[in-house]
Amino acid sequence: QGIRRFEDDLGAMLVTRTTRAVRLTEAGQRLYDALCRPMSDIVQALEGVDGDQSPRGRLRIAVTSIAEPFLSGPLLTTFAEAHPHVIVDVTVTDEEFDIVAAGFDAGVRLGEVIEQDMIAVPVGGQVREAVVASPEYLVANGMPEHPRDLVRHRCIGWRRSPENAPYRWEFEENGTSFNVAVEPQITTNDLRLMLRSALAGAGITFATEETFRPYVESGALVSLLEQYLPSFPGFFLYFPNRRNMAPKLRALVDHINAGNP
């Protein structure tokens, strides 16, 4: 409680807390480093934290590979233009870890896999799945007419980590959701490998429409089973408590909430 009162007095968050980890924020680390120096520097250190509400410093974000297209492009471009003193440091990874313990300010991933004690802010609207294959594969193997036909095709699947089962292929028919027990011949946690394999004719794969859009529009991939593909809530920026949120993170949250692309 003493630390919380001290944070309130300073108007800055010094420690990030979750149920699993506690770490110093950038402001907290600056203060800690200064307190290790002579007393004459302590007042200057406090003044450097107190009331510094302008967005600045390094903003570290962990992004899953499937979510990366929704954070990159116009969103980061317009944010960087609006906040030139914020250094955006994005790590694209599908590893499972505690973002606080790893020193990240926030993460972006599917809402269904975000821990309950995190604050989550939608990044964009709903997302629709896409199932695709190369024209060459379809000429050689035929085109599935129904999702259940996939069990007779070579498929390329995705898994979050070696400890996880391949992600379920989910579909919808007449308002009812169902899964197909696809057994991928190729399974990976790398979305880029899935895409390259599909382009090379290795089989049928799936991800979000946004992932495959340029390749479908160019004719390099063919969109399949469109009438069976559902939408889902999509991706969220997530982070620990809002209390005394760092100005750099607050700036990104406000930028997203304002509907910037």
pLDDT for the residue numbered 147: 96
Say which CATH architecture domain 2-126+235-257 belongs to.
Answer: 3-Layer(aba) Sandwich (3.40)
Mean pLDDT of the chain: 84
Q: Quick one: pLDDT at residue 52?
A: 59
Q: How far is CA 119 from CA 107, 233, 240, 246, in A?
A: 11, 16, 6, 14
pLDDT at 80: 92
Low-confidence stretches of the chain (pLDDT < 70) are 1-2, 9, 17-21, 34-52, 70-73, 112-113, 242-244, 260-261
Same fold, 2-126+235-257 and 127-232: yes
pLDDT digits (tens, 9 = 90+) for 163-179: 777 788 999 999 899 99
With 0-12 CB in 10 A as exposed, 13-18 as middle and 19+ as buried, what is 28? buried
Place of tokens 């057994």: 183
pTM higher than 0.85, yes or no?
no
In CATH, what class is 127-232?
Answer: alpha beta
User: Where along the chain do its domains lie?
Assistant: 2-126+235-257, 127-232
What is the rounded end-to-end Cα distance, in angstroms, of the chain? 39
Tell me: the pLDDT tens digits for 185-214? 999 988 889 999 999 999 999 998 888 999
Taking CA atoms, 78 is separated from 73, 97, 131, 207, 246, in Å, by 9, 29, 31, 26, 20
